């Protein structure tokens, strides 16, 4: 649940009305979630995001007019604070990597359970990415393959992290929440957020999803 009764506003983007209706029906049963709109293509989604400024966008990938990757990129460029969760049936390399590169915060498949979807929306609203297990494995494998070039040395910025910041980055890559990390180190969540902010700045990445990918790419965590 959110703090102080805050409601998470959600925009549903999918070209199938039955999918949109199913998502809306379930999400509107949650006390802390409000569906503020629906769009059936990426172009309409971008216009709606600019107008209603939702907290979270559930974004399908294969749609007419403008696909989900293009729409995600434009939503990020709007810079209105909306976080994009890709919700699709596809987990191929040609789908996953472009969506993450476009700025999607999380990537889920449509076989996700309703409860897990709600949990993901809440987590993303807190700034914690969520990936479908199949997608996480794919990213980890790809990042490791891409980081195996000999003589690459220590990546820029990595040696600037303090020991605690490095541990925080490792736990983020393992999917741990700020609360989990705070409990592990017996510190406050505010302190965890400070460590995360410092790590983002030092490593030159913009969000927790990219931070997790960075950690995986450079071998900071095990599969």
Residues 6 or more apart whose CB falls under 8 angstroms from that of 141 comprise none
d(CA 70, CA 99): 8
Please report whether residue 222 resides in a domain.
Answer: no
Please report whether residue 190 resides in a domain.
Answer: yes
Tally of domains within the chain = 2
105-144 as b/e: b if 16+ CB within 10 A:
bbbbbeebeeeebbebbbbbbeebbbbbeebbebbbebbe
Do 166 and 134 fall into the same domain?
no
Task: Walk along the chain (223 residues) and give the pLDDT tens digit of each residue.
Answer: 455 568 999 999 999 999 999 999 999 999 999 999 999 999 999 999 999 999 999 999 999 899 999 999 999 999 898 999 999 887 766 677 788 888 888 888 888 888 989 999 998 898 887 777 666 666 666 655 554 343 344 455 677 888 888 888 888 877 778 888 888 888 888 898 898 888 888 887 777 777 777 777 676 765 4
Confidence (pLDDT) at 73: 92
Domain that holds residue 157: 147-217
Confidence (pLDDT) at 222: 57
Give the three-class secondary structure for 212: helix
Do 153 and 78 fall into the same domain?
no
Confidence (pLDDT) at 148: 39
Beta strands in the chain (DSSP E): 8-13, 33-39, 56-59, 83-88, 106-109
- Assess contact for 104 and 75: CB atoms under 8 A: no
Domain CATH number, residue 167: 1.10.10.10
Residue closest to 61 by CA, chosen among 27, 21, 19, 124: 19
Residue closest to 32 by CA, chosen among 56, 65, 61, 58: 56
- Assess contact for 86 and 68: CB atoms under 8 A: yes
Please report whether residue 89 resides in a domain.
Answer: yes
Confidence (pLDDT) at 153: 44
Do 27 and 129 fall into the same domain?
yes
Please report whether residue 223 resides in a domain.
Answer: no
Do 133 and 203 fall into the same domain?
no
Residues 6 or more apart whose CB falls under 8 angstroms from that of 24 comprise 12, 35, 38
Token readout for 118 is 């709600």
Please, which residues bridge with residue 33 across strands? 8
Do 83 and 183 fall into the same domain?
no
Which residue, of 82, 115, 140, is where some domain finishes?
Answer: 140
Confidence (pLDDT) at 149: 40
Compute the radius of gyration of the chain from its Cα atoms: 18
- Assess contact for 5 and 31: CB atoms under 8 A: no
Give the three-class secondary structure for 35: strand
Would you list the DSSP string of 100-126? HHHT-SEEEETTS-HHHHHHHHHHHHT
């Amino acid at each position: 649940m959110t703090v102080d009764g805050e409601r998470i506003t959600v925009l549903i983007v999918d070209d199938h009305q039955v999918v949109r209706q199913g998502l809306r029906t379930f999400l509107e049963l949650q006390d802390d979630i409000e569906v503020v709109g629906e769009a059936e293509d990426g172009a309409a989604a971008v216009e709606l995001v600019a107008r209603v400024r939702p907290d979270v966008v559930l974004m399908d990938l294969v749609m007419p007019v403008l696909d989900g990757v293009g729409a995600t990129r434009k939503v990020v460029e709007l810079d209105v604070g909306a976080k994009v969760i890709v919700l699709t049936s596809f987990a191929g390399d040609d789908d996953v990597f472009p969506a993450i590169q476009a700025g999607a915060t999380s990537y889920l498949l449509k076989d996700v359970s309703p409860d897990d979807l709600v949990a993901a929306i809440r987590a993303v609203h807190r700034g914690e990415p969520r990936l479908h297990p199949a997608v996480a494995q794919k990213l980890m494998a790809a990042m490791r393959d891409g980081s195996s070039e000999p003589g690459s040395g220590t990546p820029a910025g990595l040696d600037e992290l303090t020991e605690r910041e490095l541990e925080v980055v490792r736990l983020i890559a393992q999917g741990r929440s700020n609360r989990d990390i705070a409990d592990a180190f017996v510190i406050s969540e505010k302190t965890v957020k400070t460590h995360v902010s410092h790590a983002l700045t030092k490593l030159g990445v913009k969000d927790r999803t990219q931070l997790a990918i960075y950690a995986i790419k450079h071998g900071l965590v095990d599969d």
